Amino acid sequence: MKRIGISACFFHADPQRPIFKGKTLLYLERSIAQWVMDAGALAYLIPAPAHGSPVTLDDLVAPLDGLVLQGGSDVAPESYGETPLKPEWSGDAVRDRYEMALVTEFRAQGKPVLGICRGVQLVNVALGGTLYQDIPTQLPGSSQHRDWEVYDQHFHGLSLEGGLRHLNAGRADTRVNSVHHQGLKELGNDLAVEARSSEDGLVEAVRAVSGPWLAAVQWHPEFQDPADPSLFDGRLLLKEFLDHA
């Protein structure tokens, strides 16, 4: 079986938290692990080695066949050379550095990378791109990309291009869920757009045009019902990723 590493989400040390007081927690959302395992691959959470540890990222990546970047906290504006427009959009620069190092190491070892939601934003920033810190604020008139009350049951139309359109049997129009408030602004180096929101044209998926296989999407395919024919079937993209692993 293929061995797929999944980047960790962080709960940073919090002296007020009632469990693991003052400790840093690394966690994995269950759906993303199950999505990978349902495709017949093994899922492993990748820890963040402490400074000075004899175990390096190179050691952690070597036995794995590919990387999935899971969703979660905002990407920190400082990671793409900006300051937060609001304190609540400060993001998680510690996680950014950890995941950007993972992307670099997996690609250095010639292994594929698949980004999900925050993952597409992280990939874009890792390759020199920038983000909208908050879509409604910076793109007045844009469509709604996040509804906290319904969360992953909020959907919008999607227009596919390139490889994603090929995976979708040549059909350009589909739908996906949408739970993000940040989005891609300036595209990173060597990335091609593969999907846009059909309502406002915001970039929703990218693919590397050179180097090891890399693709990333703004939605959460692991949250979608694969039996719903109106939605893009994320298993197609997962299969392509695993075929390159």
Residues tagged active-site = 117, 220, 222
For residue 8, give the nearest of 61, 44, 55 by alpha carbon. 44
Q: How many CB atoms lie within 10 A of CB 155?
A: 17
| DSSP code string of 31-55 | HHHHHHHHTT-EEEEE--PPTT-SS
CA distances from 61 to 34, 44, 119, 208 (A): 21, 11, 18, 20
How far is it, in rounded angstroms, from Cα 82 to Cα 27?
28
Residues 83/98, Cβ–Cβ less than 8 Å:
no
Beta strands in 92-172 (DSSP E): 113-116, 131-132, 155-160
198: DSSP letter:
T
How far is it, in rounded angstroms, from Cα 14 to Cα 204?
34
Residues 50/98, Cβ–Cβ less than 8 Å:
no
Nearest-5° angle of CA 11, CA 130, CA 8?
25
CA distances from 89 to 93, 117, 149 (A): 11, 16, 20
